[in-house]
Every structure is written in C-alpha cells, then in structure tokens.
Amino acid sequence: MQAGGSFGCVVITGASAGLGAEFARQLAPRSARLVLVARRVSLMETLAQELRAQQPACEIRTWGCDLREAAAREALLPVLKAETPDLLINNAGLGDYGEFETADWEKVNAMLQVNITALTHLAKGLLPELIARRGAILNVSSLASLLPIPDFAVYAATKAYVTSFSEALRIEMKPHGVRVLALCPGPVRTEFGQVSRRSPDGPGMPAKKSFYVPKEQVVLETLTALEKGRARVYPALKTTLAARVISAMPLCVMRLVMGMRLRR
C-alpha cells in the first residue's frame, strides 16, 4: 500500500455487481491496476471499459472464475500472485433466505465455498505477496455475522466465520505490517436480495427501507476505515448503533428477539 491510501494492484472478487463493482469504481482513481474476478466476465468487461475511459492511468484486468470450484481457485491463484497485489478485497458472496430444512444443498454448498472457503483460500494464497508489500486484506462480512439468524442460518454463520477469522488474522499480521479489515454492512441495495430468494417472488430478508445504506457510502466509509487501520467497519451510524445494541444483548434476549422470526 502506498502513502495517501493509494494502491499498486488491487484484487476484487465479486466485481461484476453490487459492492464489488462499487469498490472498483472508487479505487480506480487511486490504483495503478485493478484485477476484477467473478463469473460474469461480460459485466466486468463493461465496467472495465467505463473505468478505462475515466481513468486511463489505471490498468484493469478481468478474470472469470467460479469461486465455488477448488480447481478454478488453484488456476486463479498464480495469475493473482503474478499481479503482486497490495490489497485483496474478498467481496464475492451470496445468501440463501429460508429454512435450512428445505434449502437446496447446491446453494448451501455455494455459500460455504464462496463465503468461507474461497475467501480463506485467496487470503492464504496471496499472503506472501501481501506481506512482501506490507499490503492489506479487506474481508466483506456482514452485520449478520453478529447474530444467529433463523431463515438465514447458514449465511449468518458463514459471516460469523469471516468476522472471527479477520479479527484473528489481523493480530497475526500486525508484525508483518499487513492490515486486515472486516466490513460488516447492514442491508445494501444490490443483487444480493434477489440472489438470496429461493424464487423470484419468494420471501426475502426482512429489513426496513430506512435501514438500507447506499453502496457508495458503504464503500467510501470502508476505504476510510482501511486507511485508518481499523479492525471492523459498520458503515453508517445506524449500522454502528445496531451493532452496539446487538453486541450488548444478553444471549437469552437475543434468542427471544430472533425467535420472533419476522418474515416477508
């Protein structure tokens, strides 16, 4: 990482949509090179063209990869290592809204593979480069990581892993000068809500409209937190307050609240 919060090379997973694409937009003016990773290459290419026109000094590469697949990740890692990244943004992720009993195993497994295994695999694979460059890892977790959430049980548990892993890795990486930040957003309008549904008009995670935070604000506050070397960021005051309340809740109260299982 260079002075003033600028970067040599940034790897962003899940850059074809939502928060990942927004990270690319906000980082292009501050980076020499972006490497965008997701399955939908055409969406990333469209984004890359837009960013190349706005920021000719920033090189943008796209790489199609299904992060669920171990072999695809193994093929991706040497490519990413050769780019000598100084920031890894582990952003790709998905949810599945509904009871665990009736969940489709393929989707549950996709959540485990993308949200947990791929995030850990890329962090492990790129650590030597990140240590050499005294770089940073930004793991995209969720406010949901603080709560066991019925109807979102596996998703919330995958994010509990991400927050816990990030906190521990941050301590291990401190002597190496590598920053590790966990981003824990509340609801954000992206494709996430639609992908989480089990059918196009099926129920989704209940969240009040007023609780949503624009993706531009989420990314801006996150990049500021990264510059400041923070451990965790809950973008927007309302999310920070919610995190404080949740964290202060005795387990018996949390069980009572979550037992209400508000559905949409």
Residue ranges that bind ligand NAP, judged by CB under 6 A: 14-20, 38-40, 65-68, 91-94, 114, 140, 142, 185, 187-188, 190-192, 195
Closest CA to 145 of 124, 123, 167, 126: 167
Residue 140 beta carbon to ligand NAP: minimum distance, rounded to whole angstroms: 4
CB of 133 to ligand NAP, least distance (A): 24
Instruction: Tell me whether residue 31 or residue 196 sits nearer to ligand NAP (CB atom).
Output: 196
Residue 67 vs 137, nearer CB to ligand NAP: 67
Phi first, then psi, for residue 99 (nearest 5°) are: -70, 145
Nearest to 25 by CA among 41, 4, 46: 46
Q: In this structure, are residues 48 and 36 in contact, taking their beta carbons and an 8 Å threshold?
A: yes
**Of 85 and 185, which CB lies nearer to ligand NAP in the complex structure?**
185
> For residue 105, what is the enclosing H or E element?
helix 105-111
Name which of 112 and 249 has its Cβ closer to ligand NAP. Answer: 112
**142 contacts 119 by C-beta, under 8 angstroms:** no
Active site residue 234: no
**Phi, then psi, of 172 in degrees rounded to 5:** -65, -35
User: Which residue number, 90 or 133, has a Cβ lying nearer to ligand NAP?
Assistant: 90
Pick the catalytic residue: 81, 97, 155, 228?
Answer: 155
**Set 97, 159, 161, 215: catalytic member:** 159
In whole angstroms, how close is the CB of 207 to ligand NAP at the nearest point? 8
At its nearest, how many Å lie between ligand NAP and the CB of residue 19? Answer: 4
Whether residue 215 lies in the annotated active site: no
Residue appearing with tokens 């393929």: 106
CB 17 within 8 A of CB 194: no
> Dihedral of the CA atoms 45, 119, 164, 4 (nearest 10)?
-50
Least gap, CB of 155 to ligand NAP (angstroms): 7
Q: How far is CA 259 from the centre of its chain?
A: 27
Q: Is the dihedral of CA 148, 228, 130, 140 positive or negative?
A: positive
Q: Which residues are catalytic?
A: 155, 159
